[in-house]
Amino acid sequence: MKAADYVASSPLPDEDRTPSPVGAAAHVVIVGAGFGGLACAKALGGGPHRVTVIDRRNYHLFVPLLYQVATAALSPADIAAPIRRVLARYRNVDTVLGEVLGVDRVVRRVRLKDGGHLPYDVLILATGSMYNYFGQDAWAEFAPGVKTIDNARAIRARLLRAFEAAEIEADPERRRRLLTTVVIGGGPTGVEMAGAVAELARFTLAKDFHRIDSKTARVILIEAAPKLLTAFPETLSQYALEALGKLGVEVRLNTKVENIEAGVVVAGGERIEAEAIVWGAGIRAAAGADWLGIAPDRLGRIAVASDLSAPGQDRVYVLGDLARLEQDGEVLPALAQVASQQGLHLGHALKRLDAAALKAGPLTLAPFRYASRGDTAVIGRSSAVFVIGRWSLKRGLAWVLWGLIHIYLLIGFDRRLSVAMQWMWRYLTTEGGARLID
Amino acid sequence: MKAADYVASSPLPDEDRTPSPVGAAAHVVIVGAGFGGLACAKALGGGPHRVTVIDRRNYHLFVPLLYQVATAALSPADIAAPIRRVLARYRNVDTVLGEVLGVDRVVRRVRLKDGGHLPYDVLILATGSMYNYFGQDAWAEFAPGVKTIDNARAIRARLLRAFEAAEIEADPERRRRLLTTVVIGGGPTGVEMAGAVAELARFTLAKDFHRIDSKTARVILIEAAPKLLTAFPETLSQYALEALGKLGVEVRLNTKVENIEAGVVVAGGERIEAEAIVWGAGIRAAAGADWLGIAPDRLGRIAVASDLSAPGQDRVYVLGDLARLEQDGEVLPALAQVASQQGLHLGHALKRLDAAALKAGPLTLAPFRYASRGDTAVIGRSSAVFVIGRWSLKRGLAWVLWGLIHIYLLIGFDRRLSVAMQWMWRYLTTEGGARLID
């Protein structure tokens, strides 16, 4: 991280370090280049304001497909687009690779890890979320979530290495343990993960091992609630349960995880030995509330007003998983499409205002309203669920829809093409993709 | 590396641990799944002997294209094929993920890191090579080579991070340093690396940075000899020099590297400050000679007989970069095609013999003869050199040939297609590929 040294003293060339003088363009700072932050930056693109997007990573990660990296179907690069390239065509939008440590609200500037500062007229926090181990943070080491590329690589390596070890393992007990995977959480992530691992074992790896029958690999999906995919209609939850059953996944409903150690999950009183354990049982907001001195809810979220402004703050807005917003008596879910719609809404609202307004002080923007474009989760080969409004769909057609939607949403056309082709290829051949242990 | 624990005691199920009884199939053990080892295993595939391929990694790496990973053009998975899948269709060939520590020549077995052993009737060493810092191993930390995926990822991250840091660097001196890359070694690797970095800066990144002009990035190629690509005819060396010049690469010939520290190269008396330093100045053989108690040459190679047998050893053969073989008074170069041809030759020779012969003792196999299929190196967009026999070629046509040959040689058809498509895409758009910092 040598390069970091060189930004320590000066996060941006001088003209940007001094608060923008009256008359000059206003400066909007967006922290986080996830779905929300990126949508907001694009909406502000080509507008009158100067925009700076800060992220710890140089890429926007398409998290909904991360489980396919974890199960050796896609490469990290397939689902990661360089933020800088995505925003390249907007001359008024700058990208900064850096980590935010805090916010100096009085002087209105963001504090960076490298010691630098970044002044803002308007601040937008879109830091997203991370996995929630409900106070049992020690579990994270033994049961990684699927939130970062490193997570996904670690899971992929562990899954593949388990099969390699099983192939040369003489002791049947040990072999059984090596070939057992536990997935915790029956939401979309857990269902997709469990289905993908089962298919990896049943199809992709089946031909490649001579001593073990990879089809004997066990996948156990643990969910505390009485059903899977609680956000979906009953019929679809039921279908998901059956579809996973057909893939050989053992689904344990109404089962609470009591403890996790290295290679061991204790759930519903049972002790399950498994080489790979994957966590998908819930998330909490990333850093943000603390920066603003706001008391978050129990999931670390900031309760925002209908215009996405942070309570008691002047020109500070919060987006996506970090924001807690009720609509029609229900809290909006932590979904990519919620974040994008919020980013779009906020971006457009700010773009309409002039520099003076953004610098003057308190703003009131139009209230945000979420309109669901539909929810979908994939279980496996030609098997998925899709719901929009009162209309719900399952099996092959839902699966095709899921594929088309995700291809469409993938940022970066070359990758879109490459992913589409890889999926097609795997669908026809059941061959695997990026099976690297690293 | 939890899984490793479980193979510690038993590298293979029992029936494989006891030396194969007379009458049973003979056991050929191949250490290393590079071009040589893999070619040999395939040639033995479907034959009468049991074959076990051991490698520390679960994938065969297409090293000739690794520089494209280092320069954010391809993903690691594009050039890495799971060894197990490549060999899946040969029922008599097993794949073992493991690290060899040594050879017990008397009892004829290979010692594995996990404490297990693997008995052999015939042993084939194809461990390949690594970068040679000519005794200055401390340099490796500051100037990584391009031999492993980790190397390539590290270089990629360093290059991309340097541009990110430069974008927000106020001090011109520091910025200049961040935008300087030094490549050491004027062989194919060095030339390809220097050309690729120059193109990354000139084309791929050009549009993405608003504050710096990425075209001002300096690439310095240092070569101790008076010409580049010494293995190629004079005209092609000359062409490479001019082509790199057109790309803005500063080539320093007759220049010896005196010292390398963090971010500093001292060469030809000059002190060059550079954020990224890449080593491509020569290789030496990997482990192998020591296992056999053979004194290697100064590059760690084992001088083999014309049938590739190791001197003074019974049924032990050496392939590829680890082998030193003279032909017509010249030592064969460390090339993928030399290794593959040797693997193929040895595999076929052994396949013809029966189990009794392989177990009986000293063998004499037909001598190996290398027939060059041509040499090629790429400099950049529609610019390469190609030579076969007395016939040599440069520019666009050589570049197209280079592309076709490498696509053809890439193992794993889905990847082949995907790589071809990505190259096509980048050729048309000058868009980059896998630009991840991790």
d(CA A47, CA A346): 13
- pLDDT, average across residues A256-273: 96
pLDDT at residue B352, rounded to an integer: 96
The pLDDT confidence band at residue A414, using thresholds 50, 70 and 90, is: low
ipTM above 0.85, yes or no: no
Asked if A149's CB is within 8 angstroms of B207's CB, the reply is no
pLDDT value, residue B72: 87
Q: Does residue B421 register a pLDDT over 80?
A: no
Mean pLDDT along residues B190-197: 96
**Residue B91: its chain A contacts at CB < 8 A?**
210
Nearest chain B CA: its distance from A168 CA (Å): 5
Q: Do B165 and A3 touch (CB under 8 A)?
A: yes
Inspect the interface and report whether the beta carbons of B13 and A85 lie closer than 8 Å: no
CB contacts, 8 Å: A425 with chain B: 414, 417
C-alpha A44/C-alpha A24 separation (Å) is 17
Are A43 and A348 contacting, i.e. CB atoms less than 8 angstroms apart? yes
Domains of chain B: 14-131+283-360 (3.50.50.60), 137-281 (3.50.50.100)
**Residue in the block written with tokens 């029956």:** A186
- Contact B4/A422, CB-based, under 8 Å? no
Assess whether pLDDT exceeds 90 at residue B382: no
Distance CA A324, CA A331 (A): 7
Name the residue among A323, A328, A360, A315 with its Cα closest to residue A340: A323
Measure A271 CA to nearest chain B CA, in Å.
19
Considering only A150-159, A419-428, B265-274, which range has the smallest mean pLDDT?
A419-428
CA closest to B205 among chain A residues: A85
* Residue B14 touches partner A, C-beta closer than 8 Å: yes
- Asked if A164 is an active-site residue, the reply is no
Interface of A with B in 58-77 (CB under 8 A): 58-59, 75-77
Write out pLDDT tens, residues B84-119: 988 999 999 999 999 999 999 999 999 999 888 999
Looking at residue B64, the DSSP 8-state letter turns out to be G
- pLDDT > 90: percent of chain A: 71
Q: Is A315 left (phi over 0), alpha (psi -120 to 50) or beta?
A: left
Q: A129: pLDDT confidence band, cut at 50, 70 and 90?
A: very high
Judged against a pLDDT cut of 70, whether residue A429 lies above it is answered with no
Average pLDDT rounded to a whole number, residues B228-252: 96
Residue the block writes with tokens 């002044």:
A119
Q: Is the pLDDT of residue A268 over 70?
A: yes
Pairwise pLDDT comparison (A286 vs B208), residue with the higher score: A286
CB within 8 Å of B370: residues ≥ 6 apart: B327, B332, B338, B341, B342
Q: How far apart are CA B286 and CA B301, in angstroms?
A: 8
**Residues of A in Cβ contact (< 8 Å) with B33:** none
Please tell me if residue A424 touches chain B, with a CB cutoff of 8 Å.
no
- For A34, A121, A230, the CA distances from A38, given in Å and listed in that order, are 6, 19, 29
CB atoms within 10 A of CB B371: 7
Size of interface A-B (CB pairs under 8 A): 189
| pTM for the predicted model, two decimal places | 0.87
Q: Which residues of A touch B94 (CB under 8 A)?
A: 210-211
Residue in B with minimal Cα distance to A160:
B58
pLDDT in tens, A322-368: 999 999 999 999 999 999 999 999 999 999 999 999 999 899 999 99
Find residues 136-195 of chain A whose CB sits inside 8 Å of chain B.
Answer: 149-150, 158, 160-162, 164-165, 167-171, 174, 177-178
Give SS3 for B184.
strand
What's the one-letter identity of residue A376?
T
Distance from CA of B208 to the nearest CA of A (A): 5
Q: Distance from B29 to chain A by nearest Cα, in Å?
A: 15
pLDDT of res. A91: 92
pLDDT band at A412 (very low <50, low <70, confident <90, very high): low
Task: Convert the pLDDT of each residue in B298-328 to its tens digit.
Answer: 999 999 999 999 999 999 999 999 999 999 9
Tokens of A77: 């690069």
**Cα distance between residue A125 and residue A294, in whole Å:** 13
| pLDDT for B415 | 65
Q: Give the closest-approach CA distance of A273 to chain B in angstroms.
A: 13
pLDDT over threshold 80, residue A8: no
- Chain B residues in contact with A210 (beta carbon < 8 A): 91, 94
Catalytic residue among B99, B164, B173, B192: B192
Averaged pLDDT, B49-64: 95
pLDDT, average across residues B248-262: 97
Residue with tokens 């040959």: B405
Q: How confident is the model at residue A247 (pLDDT cuts 50, 70, 90)?
A: very high
Q: Which of A99, A167, A192, A431 is catalytic?
A: A192
Max Cα separation, chain A? Answer: 76
What is the spatial distance between Cα B136 and Cα B18, in angstroms, rounded to a whole number?
Answer: 44
Q: For residue B18, is pLDDT > 70?
A: no
- B226 half-sphere exposure, CB direction, 13 A CA radius: 1
Chain B contact for A256, CB < 8 A? no
Q: Is residue B173 classed as helix, strand or coil in its secondary structure?
A: helix
Chain A residue numbers with beta carbons less than 8 Å from the beta carbon of B414 are 422, 425-426, 429, 431, 433
Which residue shows structure tokens 């040589």? B36
